[in-house]
Amino acid sequence: MHVFHPLLRAPGRVCAAALGAALWFAPAAPAAQFGSRPQAAEQRPQPVCVRDVQLGLGEGAERVTLLLGGGRILGRQAADAPPPPGHILVDGTGLIALPAFVDAFTTRGVTTPSPTPDRDEVQDPRADVWVDMRPALRRGLNPAFRAVDTATLSAEHLDAWRAAGFGYALQSPSGELLSGRAALVSLREGALRERVVRGDVAMHASFSSTGGGYPGTLMGRIAHLRQFALDAAHFAELSRRQEAGLPGPRPPYDPDLEVAAQLASGELPLLCAAERPADLSRWLRLAEEFGWRPVALGGRELGADAERLANRGLAAVLTLAWGDEVDDPREPKKKKDAPDGRSKEEAEPELATDEVQVDADGGGDEPSPETDAAPDDAEAASASPKPYEEPFALRLEKRLEWEKRRDTAIALALRGVPFAFGTADEAPGDLLRKVRELVEAGLPEEAALEALSDGARRVLGAGGPRSLDDGSDASLALWSANPLTDKKARVEWMIVEGHLWRAPAKKESGAGNKDEEKR
């Protein structure tokens, strides 16, 4: 099917000029046109004026008018200043402007390939005895893989992140000893090539690998990592000698070993999966031996190691996977209400009078063998064993262990350890809900906001001007209330690198409100 346009009948130069003029003089889209799906052709951020908005949290936060242009914050004016001409006007009355949050670790949109374990010709073990690892035996090792080459995000994922106030995410491979390099991307509309902030941010590492055979145990995986690091050091020495013109064999073409050299120099940090202190100890020993720069990832039980992290100047990315809440035995048990909504105390007297129906003449119903138990049966029923209940000390221990996992971020904040938050494979709304629980448990609001914004950037090595300062990226969210304390707070507008996103209208039905909270 062919589509014809009058301009397309003109000669080539006239057609191009006419199309260029049409695009040049096309009017800017008004604010009403911005919704949850901006036009695909709109790639350049438009000048925006956010009028009369509260800048940051706290009672002393000032109300200002922000001027955005070219994807940057150009300046601020008085809250009641008239908007300059040529700007899209966003009314910030009653809203709070906070920096766009950073998801410091997510596996969404990245499919980690399985490393090819035997890429070179197998050596004949009968010919000689080999003292080193056979070349290119790389099960579980895929450091040359880059998430930025294959990363994708659906429109639903983008909406879920922005609805929770997130403007950036670190998309990372996972599941292998060395899974590959993570990429920091913005969460606005547009092609991936336009949204990439940094293509190679960190290497994901863990003590796990797919496939059978060696290395199938923790000891084997650590030995496998050490052998690979030694091979990388040998590769770096061959490369140095070749560049210096010294005699010796040339280094092989091996992208994996080239990336490993960046790890050894500390140029590329290592996101190390370390849920327990024992995992952290293993990574620290490997880092000391081979010059790696580790960043603890996960950290479910690293609160006890907060002082060690602080002394070594290390950072952490917490995924807040502390598990389902354990009941606190120190709190009084809540009595279940009756089906009609009354309390148990209110319902019990009435239920007792309904056991025997009284006739008008004063006589009662005849006992029923099916419903009225004999005295012996009643005594037997009362003597039946009660359901088993764990001892108080055991229940208290389980509760305290759960609190220790939950309060890891609080322990790190007390010791001054830099940390950020990551969703892993969970929903962004769930992460924000857990951060809210941490604030309720004692994490200062300032520390929580820092870990969600500028602190996360620094942990990932993507610093810059402080958010919401003049000259910083125009990436901010306009909230209806404080999202760190109010579970009903919602994003009304999201601005990522100057690109506007309007939150869908809030649903009034109960099911719709529950869906909003889950996001």
CATH number at residue 305: 3.20.20.140
Distances in Å between the Cα of 332 and the Cα atoms of 327, 328, 329 are 11, 9, 7
- Tell whether the model's pLDDT for residue 409 goes beyond 80: yes
User: Does residue 32 fall inside a structural domain?
Assistant: no
- Tell whether the model's pLDDT for residue 102 goes beyond 50: yes
Residue with tokens 């039980």: 301
Lowest mean per-residue pLDDT among 76-80, 253-257, 335-339, 493-497: 335-339
The DSSP code sequence of 300-346 is: TTGGGGHHHHHHHT--EEE-----SPPP-TTSPPPPPPPTTS--HHH
Strands 491-496 and 499-502: antiparallel
Mean pLDDT calculated for residue range 118-131? 56
Q: What integer pLDDT is reported at residue 382 of this predicted model?
A: 59
- Tell whether the model's pLDDT for residue 305 goes beyond 70: yes
Q: What integer pLDDT is reported at residue 497 of this predicted model?
A: 95
Cα–Cα nearest to 39, from 50, 25, 29: 29
Q: What integer pLDDT is reported at residue 34 of this predicted model?
A: 41
Distances in Å between the Cα of 447 and the Cα atoms of 8, 297, 487 are 58, 18, 18
Q: What integer pLDDT is reported at residue 325 of this predicted model?
A: 93
* % of the chain beyond a pLDDT of 70: 76
Instruction: Answer for the pair 386, 278: CB distance below 8 angstroms, yes or no.
Output: no
- Tell whether the model's pLDDT for residue 328 goes beyond 70: yes
- Tell whether the model's pLDDT for residue 129 goes beyond 70: no
Q: What integer pLDDT is reported at residue 422 of this predicted model?
A: 97
- Tell whether the model's pLDDT for residue 107 goes beyond 80: yes
Mean pLDDT calculated for residue range 268-281? 95
Instruction: Answer for the pair 500, 33: CB distance below 8 angstroms, yes or no.
Output: no
Q: Which two tokens stand for residue 466?
A: 């402080």
Q: What integer pLDDT is reported at residue 125 of this predicted model?
A: 57
User: Residue 295: in which H helix or E strand, if any?
Assistant: strand 294-298
Q: What integer pLDDT is reported at residue 45 of this predicted model?
A: 86
Mean pLDDT calculated for residue range 235-250? 92
- Tell whether the model's pLDDT for residue 33 goes beyond 80: no
CA of residue 261 relative to chain centroid, distance: 28
Per the structure, the complete domain to which residue 459 belongs is given by 102-117+130-325+398-470
Instruction: Answer for the pair 175, 164: CB distance below 8 angstroms, yes or no.
Output: no
pLDDT band at 414 (very low <50, low <70, confident <90, very high): very high
For 419-474, list the strands marked E by DSSP: 419-421
pLDDT band at 380 (very low <50, low <70, confident <90, very high): low
- Tell whether the model's pLDDT for residue 266 goes beyond 60: yes
* Distance of alpha carbon 101 from alpha carbon 104, whole angstroms: 9
Q: What are phi and psi of 460, to 5 degrees?
A: -90, 5
Tens-place pLDDT, residues 162-213: 999 999 999 999 999 999 999 999 999 988 899 999 999 999 999 998 887 8
- The DSSP code for 452 is H
Mean pLDDT calculated for residue range 492-496? 97
CA of residue 56 relative to chain centroid, distance: 22
Q: What integer pLDDT is reported at residue 44 of this predicted model?
A: 81
Mean pLDDT calculated for residue range 351-360? 41
Tens-place pLDDT, residues 199-233: 999 999 999 988 878 888 999 999 999 999 999 99
Q: How many domains does the chain have?
A: 1
Mean pLDDT calculated for residue range 371-392? 66
User: Does residue 453 fall inside a structural domain?
Assistant: yes
The CB density around residue 351, as the number of other CB atoms within 10 Å, is: 10
pLDDT band at 248 (very low <50, low <70, confident <90, very high): confident
User: Does residue 138 fall inside a structural domain?
Assistant: yes
Residue with tokens 């040998």: 234
* Distance of alpha carbon 413 from alpha carbon 443, whole angstroms: 8
Q: What integer pLDDT is reported at residue 2 of this predicted model?
A: 39
pTM above 0.75, yes or no: yes
SS3 annotation, 367-428: CCCCCCCCHHHHHHHHCCCCCCCCCHHHHHHHHHHHHHHHCHHHHHHHCCCCEEECCECCCH
User: Does residue 61 fall inside a structural domain?
Assistant: no
Mean pLDDT calculated for residue range 273-297? 96
* Distance of alpha carbon 361 from alpha carbon 347, whole angstroms: 27
The CB density around residue 457, as the number of other CB atoms within 10 Å, is: 21
User: Does residue 239 fall inside a structural domain?
Assistant: yes
* Distance of alpha carbon 81 from alpha carbon 52, whole angstroms: 9
Mean pLDDT calculated for residue range 421-442? 96
pLDDT band at 22 (very low <50, low <70, confident <90, very high): very low
Q: What integer pLDDT is reported at residue 210 of this predicted model?
A: 87
Angle at CA of residue 120, ends 116 and 123, nearest 5°? 125
* Distance of alpha carbon 415 from alpha carbon 59, whole angstroms: 27
- % helix, strand, coil for the chain, step of 5: 35, 20, 45
* % of the chain beyond a pLDDT of 90: 64
Mean pLDDT calculated for residue range 330-355? 54
